[in-house]
Structure 1
């Protein structure tokens, strides 16, 4: 985007923000009512975490955030509450962006869209599709905010698809001094890669500009019960079989329960699928990743073509998830080690399966964002959706992290892990440069909280 174009869009706005829940995707207003509570105890989406303050602020306009930040000594910015750890927590003050009315501006010439940071991906996707455009990818859960997803390197899937934050070309941020800062790949080429996946440490992201492309169609096919030995032997072929591929397993047996393959539909080209694929069978009905659960709320399968935003997520956008009785963890390993790392996790099946709802394995292409787990490396992400029993999960996570240590695994920033700060810090080549940015934009540590202190500065 040209400098004059971005500044023009910024002026317009100033005058005028995973993995889906596996057990509860029913349409409900429960979560919304909890989020709108402005007094009393406050919880994250999964209700595994009670925020450390009851001092919540709900500005209705982006410009009001500047005054709130300038007048605060310590605060954090909150999006859609889908973090499972305390990355968004504060003991002093939390500013929620949920009441800011979303605004969208498409730049057709440069093929970008600029949105408020609190905009949810599902809402943005529906708007873009109605205008004939698409994002390059979607996370499994479309109800997460743009700013929050990008700040934590939340991803999506595909051997050629980098995470959602890789499509950010410009942003607006309110710094600790209450100053509005505009940055982009053209305006700030040297530091911009450190400002996108920023963990909320640099300021409040109020506007995000994303690359877009023409809308496209996708079909989704599911295979059942692929033996682990076949996955290991044909890992590249399996994971590159579609635009986006997900493996689901509960580790109970030496197999992958389901393989979800999402393919772009190219015109009238007919696709003749084999019914037997590396020992697995093509499903004959729509499935939920946990086969005992109805697939009613899952996106359409069985090869039925549909718009990109109705196939790339695993769950339908018009079903707002209720509070999920689950916990989540996720670890990223270099793609070259993906099959070996997955096999290593299977060795812990007796420890994992009793506490697990489902596990998903995906691929993400490399990016250049300093604090992204995929910085300069293609990755395989092994995701765990746990039963909501933190005491049990806390005992299993160190075992998984030990198994993945030889592959230099990096945890998802917004999910549960027990990795030591020193080991975590050693995985990020640009951490010192990122800390310099924090010192520049937040010299007094206004946006720093216990999570950041421990994981970025602790030993």
Structure 2
């Protein structure tokens, strides 16, 4: 059976159908049995898996509909962000933000609350204006922003149907440069964390929880002109003049060292035409309220020595609040604490348990598609609209065709 993109999860579904049209999806749903959507396979758990049929939606044609008056674009759910971004930029338009990997597909990323970074930028789900899905009745349904159920369905985890297309907000195309800063100490960062995260349009901190420096600060600056100045210092750190980066090799990352470029070649960390990240890895990630940033980071910082042997990098980012019921940023601005782990399953499971214990006082919400140890009670404690979302999913899919063991384990769907 196929594995996720990193090779660290093997799907158990006995059948995969490669859909290239809405008709293909409808044909599967006219048959009995459980069904789940499969995208670019960037989840690290059994979230997208099923005991029935997986419907791979990445084979839809790359056909887009741009509405310049409404400032929207309608796209197939299985399309990769990087492919859409090139098409938009060619026409003078842009997405407000992108994730670090342009390889992820739009439907899967928005359904799990995946994100880029930036104090004023919501998670990618916040750009969804409308979505179309094939429901349990094998019919196509559409829901738009402001309509009933919309806030339940955008970050919907595939729990109610197979999303086949989405309408996204777009903005005029813009330019960005990337700069790396080193030498920022934990003391300075925690004393004024807001100053650090507000230094650019998008800011990431790459850390291995060592002392005294936080590691690398990766600053993305939105430009009005290519010669716009950027600061030489951030807090007590300085701008690097070379091409050294926390992600090492230069042949798979987007251009840094202050070279201006189009938004779609600067907002992601990784290039679409190369293998992303490190591969053979496990990821986990947690979202805490921004006002708890200092205390939460201090709590994880105490674990540095114990988790470092199994850690490739931690990346710290931010996102703005939204109103989507199962979003990790629902009604709170967040600091995001991401872990890229070596493929050491037992040791990583133990490290994740220690991280979650340290973050429990801050009601940390896990990324839905990454490894975590939360159960139904823990999810209910941190997601106040879980029961409301579950009620919507049960109403739209009373027989549980889109449910699976993962969703039932977390209380997203009722047990069957």
Q: TM-score, normalised by structure 1?
A: 0.88
Structure 1: gaps (5+ residues): 1-40
Match 2:239 to one of 282, 285, 289: 282
CA drift at 1:269:
5.6
| 2:365 paired with 1:410 | yes
| 2:224 paired with 1:266 | yes
CA drift at 1:278:
2.4
Structure 2: gaps (5+ residues): none
Deviates more, 1:143-152 or 1:416-425: 416-425
Contact between 2:394 and 2:414, CA under 8 Å: does it hold in 1? Answer: no
CA drift at 1:458:
8.0
Contact between 1:47 and 1:323, CA under 8 Å: does it hold in 2? Answer: no
Partner residue in 1 for 2:345: 390
Q: Secondary structure of 1:424's match?
A: helix
In the alignment, the residues of structure 2 paired with residue 147 and residue 426 of structure 1 have an alpha-carbon distance, to the nearest angstrom, of 27
In the alignment, the residues of structure 2 paired with residue 86 and residue 247 of structure 1 have an alpha-carbon distance, to the nearest angstrom, of 29
CA drift at 1:320:
3.7
Partner residue in 2 for 1:239: 197
Over aligned residues, Cα RMSD in angstroms?
Answer: 1.5
Deviates more, 1:149-158 or 1:91-100: 91-100
- Measured against aligned partners, the alpha-carbon deviations of 1:188-238 in whole angstroms (never above 9, x if no partner) come to 2x3211110000001000010000010000111110131101100121111
Partner residue in 2 for 1:309: 264
In the alignment, the residues of structure 2 paired with residue 348 and residue 323 of structure 1 have an alpha-carbon distance, to the nearest angstrom, of 23
Q: Secondary structure of 1:381's match?
A: strand
Deviates more, 1:384-393 or 1:59-68: 59-68
Contact between 1:254 and 1:346, CA under 8 Å: does it hold in 2? Answer: no
Q: Secondary structure of 1:210's match?
A: strand
Aligned in 2, Cα 1:336/1:322: closer, same or farther, shift over 3 Å?
closer
In the alignment, the residues of structure 2 paired with residue 416 and residue 76 of structure 1 have an alpha-carbon distance, to the nearest angstrom, of 19
Match 1:441 to one of 389, 396, 416: 396
In the alignment, the residues of structure 2 paired with residue 47 and residue 316 of structure 1 have an alpha-carbon distance, to the nearest angstrom, of 20
CA drift at 1:268:
5.9
Q: Kindly report which structure 2 residues correspond to 1:85-100, keeping only aligned pairs within 5 A, or say none.
A: 85-100=45-60
Contact between 2:8 and 2:44, CA under 8 Å: does it hold in 1? Answer: yes
- Measured against aligned partners, the alpha-carbon deviations of 1:296-336 in whole angstroms (never above 9, x if no partner) come to 32111122111011111111222144981110000000011
Partner residue in 1 for 2:294: 339
In the alignment, the residues of structure 2 paired with residue 42 and residue 305 of structure 1 have an alpha-carbon distance, to the nearest angstrom, of 39
Partner residue in 1 for 2:378: 423
Partner residue in 2 for 1:451: 406
Match 2:36 to one of 41, 59, 76: 76
Aligned in 2, Cα 1:225/1:454: closer, same or farther, shift over 3 Å?
same
Partner residue in 2 for 1:298: 253
CA drift at 1:387:
0.2
Partner residue in 2 for 1:378: 333
- Where has structure 1 moved over 4 Å in runs of 4 or more? none
In the alignment, the residues of structure 2 paired with residue 339 and residue 223 of structure 1 have an alpha-carbon distance, to the nearest angstrom, of 20
Partner residue in 1 for 2:172: 214
Q: Secondary structure of 1:404's match?
A: helix
In the alignment, the residues of structure 1 paired with residue 234 and residue 277 of structure 2 have an alpha-carbon distance, to the nearest angstrom, of 36
- Measured against aligned partners, the alpha-carbon deviations of 1:380-401 in whole angstroms (never above 9, x if no partner) come to 0000000001100011111111
Q: Kindly report which structure 2 residues correspond to 1:107-146, keeping only aligned pairs within 5 A, or say none.
A: 107-146=67-106
Q: Secondary structure of 2:299's match?
A: helix
- Measured against aligned partners, the alpha-carbon deviations of 1:23-82 in whole angstroms (never above 9, x if no partner) come to xxxxxxxxxxxxxxxxxx221111111111231111221221011012131111100000
Q: Secondary structure of 1:86's match?
A: coil
Contact between 2:118 and 2:320, CA under 8 Å: does it hold in 1? Answer: yes
Q: Secondary structure of 1:255's match?
A: coil
Q: TM-score, normalised by structure 2?
A: 0.96
- Measured against aligned partners, the alpha-carbon deviations of 1:262-310 in whole angstroms (never above 9, x if no partner) come to 1111136631522x432222112123324xx322321111221110111
